[in-house]
Amino acid sequence: MRRPGALAITHDRLRIIIGDIRRNKADVGSAMRGQELVISALGRGNSLRSDHLISRSMEAIVPAMQQAGVRRIILMSAFGVGESLRDAPLIPRIAFRTLLRGPFADKKSAEEKLRASGLDWTIVYPVLLTNGPLTERYRVGERLKLHGMPRISRADVAHFILNEAQSGAFVRKVAVISY
């Protein structure tokens, strides 16, 4: 987690581990022990550079999960990565192919590693993220009909991810999420 102090919740089953996946892969393995599920929401924020963060992280996460016997992972990617690009409205599609080309190629590489891993994965494709409130009124599907500049709040994406962690409705599937 980038800012552990920003996490305003506690739970007896929630464990926060501070580390840097890029610098200490051994920490990843120790973080996996005793876990049932991994949620990866790694990202570069508003940066247009990838630095291969997501694909390099997956190179650490997948073997650590396999070694620890953790089968389930939910990866937050981005709408417009991989095959989801085909459903993107025109203006976002142009941005995905130009400005976001590097970060999206990195995410696609990570997704390919995950799909080949044999793990029980779910790849979440949120549309443009906002800091809006939790509404619990969003659409989710393997493909969605979208128009303009579709948006979704981070709170609603988190809500979906936590529900998916319990339900498993999208195991070995992608989930596009939008209003």
Strand locations in 67-172 (E): 72-76, 120-126, 128-130, 139-141, 151-153
How many Å apart are CA 2 and CA 47, to the nearest integer?
15
CA 100 to chain centre: 16
Domain encompassing residue 174: 4-178
Mean pLDDT value across residues 66-78: 97
Asked if the model's pLDDT at residue 1 lies above 50, the reply is: no
Q: What is the mean pLDDT of the chain?
A: 92
**Any idea of the CA torsion for 124, 129, 133, 136, to the nearest 10 degrees?**
-30
Q: What is the pLDDT of residue 2?
A: 59
Indicate the pTM of the whole model.
0.91
Could you report how far apart the first and last alpha carbons of the chain are, in Å?
26
How many Å apart are CA 164 and CA 124, to the nearest integer?
10
Tell me: the pLDDT tens digits for 4-60? 677 777 888 777 777 777 777 778 888 898 899 999 999 877 777 778 999 999 999
Output the domain CATH number for residue 125. 3.40.50.720
Tell me: the pLDDT tens digits for 122-159? 999 999 999 999 999 999 999 999 999 999 999 999 99
Q: How many domains does the chain have?
A: 1
